[in-house]
Amino acid sequence: MPDKLRRIATEIIQGAIKAVDPYILIKEQIEKKQTVLHCKGMAPIDLSRYQRVFICGAGKGTAPMAKAMEELLGESLVGGDIIVKYGHTDRLMKVTLHEAAHPVPDENTLKATNILLGNLRNLQETDCVFVLLTGGGSALMESLPGGIQLADLQQLSAVLLESGANIHEINCIRKHISRIKGGQLAREIHPARCITLALSDVIGDDLSVIASGPTSADPSTFAEALAILEKYRIADKIPDVIRTYLHDGRAGKKAETPKSDDRIFHSVSNTVIGNNRLALKRAAAIAEANGFSTMILTSMLEGEAREAAKVIGSVIREIQMTDIPLNKPACILLGGEPTVHIRGKGKGGRNQELTLAVALSGIREPFVFVSCGSDGTDGPTDAAGAIADQYTMTRADKNQLNAAAYLENNDAYHFFSALDDLIITGPTGTNVMDIIFALIP
């Protein structure tokens, strides 16, 4: 049974990721008839109205998006620039592909963004820019205001990633020390037509948060950014120059990010082409085809991974004992993006930590649990996530692995590596948060 369940789990992972392939999503949702693009959820776009058409953007999944858009736009496309994480590439004909670091920006982040912005200078109303965004765009595309250096940004990024703050909170701060985030790319593109296609990696598909909303009106403020620093007690851990910049912003000495009443958004259209729910629906369909009753509990899971694991473990045990809320064989599915407050010195990511915490929750009857990042990368590791079952703790004991100690040290990677239970997919070309499920036979 364990081998069969693991085989089904692998099928579910592969199917869920394929369901949110950005190349396929664009081809499914955008149809070209002569010179007119018909895009789901948007008014038709007549390319003949524009003298020049460009592509720009950033994120882990933007290379396949750009490839699909090149094919759709054809001769109308002049060129463009996209920025991807190292290794997340594709073959493009007219669009220049730049690689940079994620999740902590590097020199190439700033260099590539400056090239991107330089190629968007002097746009006119007769120009059209397609902006492609996926998760990872916040780290990969950045232009800093005067006085803030790359080292300052890198220190801030490291502190935020370890703080336990969620992506909405992290991006609120990022937007307020940037010249491109929080609607400011739309300002650079204005007065040209701006059409943004986004693959959502945030809870609720909030366009102002995806890649830090470079073409969306920003409802957040400098005051909120400072409040987040206080909430997580990290104000004294970030560079002085950034803290001073945020205080100057709250005092009105720096310009706020553009809000919804700004005229620059009159020529902007933003739409989400894919999200976590789409992946979960495909995962549920595969589980049903294998004889499991299914339930998507949520696509909005957030909060500390260890706490989420307690709830998930209790649901698994309830099904095992009472067939509530599903009759066995059952598959429960969740999506979202839990967080990890790093206290230890180990290696891992939120998916591996969640899986280890579920394995430690005391489940003794048969089950298989999986948590993996849809982009193929879980935290600062080469793993997408991990898999556990009712034998994980027994095998750990035989290998003299103290699971509780590994969890306390935030070292789930080395725990699952020793058991050969890491999920390694490599870059998937997409990014819609995490795919989490349990199979209960």
DSSP string, 244-271: HHHHHHHTTSSPPPP-TT-GGGGGEEEE
Angle at which helices 22-29 and 62-73 pack, to 10 degrees?
A: 30
Q: With 80 as the cut, is the pLDDT of residue 2 above it?
A: no
Does domain 2-10+277-440 correspond to CATH entry 3.40.1480.10? yes
**Residue 312: C-alpha distances to residues 305, 319, 332, 397, 402 (Å):** 10, 11, 9, 23, 22
Q: pLDDT tens-digit profile of 392-406?
A: 999 999 999 999 999
Beta bridge partner(s), residue 31: 38
Q: From 341, 353, 332, select the one nearest 411 (Cα to Cα).
A: 353
Q: pLDDT tens-digit profile of 279-316?
A: 999 999 999 999 999 999 999 999 999 999 999 999 99
The two structure tokens encoding residue 369: 């649990």
Residue by residue, DSSP assigns 60-120 as: TTHHHHHHHHHHHHGGGEEEEEEEEETT-----SSEEEEEE-SSS--HHHHHHHHHHHHTT
Does domain 28-274 correspond to CATH entry 3.40.50.10180? yes
Can you give the pLDDT at residue 1? 58
Domain-by-domain residue ranges, the chain? 2-10+277-440, 28-274
Residues 31, 38 contacting (CB under 8 angstroms)? yes
Pairing of strands 368-373, 268-274: unpaired
Q: pLDDT tens-digit profile of 80-114?
A: 999 999 999 999 999 999 999 999 999 999 999 99
Would you tell me how many other CB atoms lie within 10 Å of the CB of residue 407?
Answer: 23
For residue 130, give the H/E element and its range. Answer: strand 127-133
Structure pTM?
Answer: 0.92
Percent of the chain at pLDDT exceeding 70: 100
CA quadruple 416, 310, 404, 368: dihedral sign: negative
Can you give the pLDDT at residue 162? 87
Query: Is the bond into 191 cis (omega within 30 degrees of 0)?
Result: yes
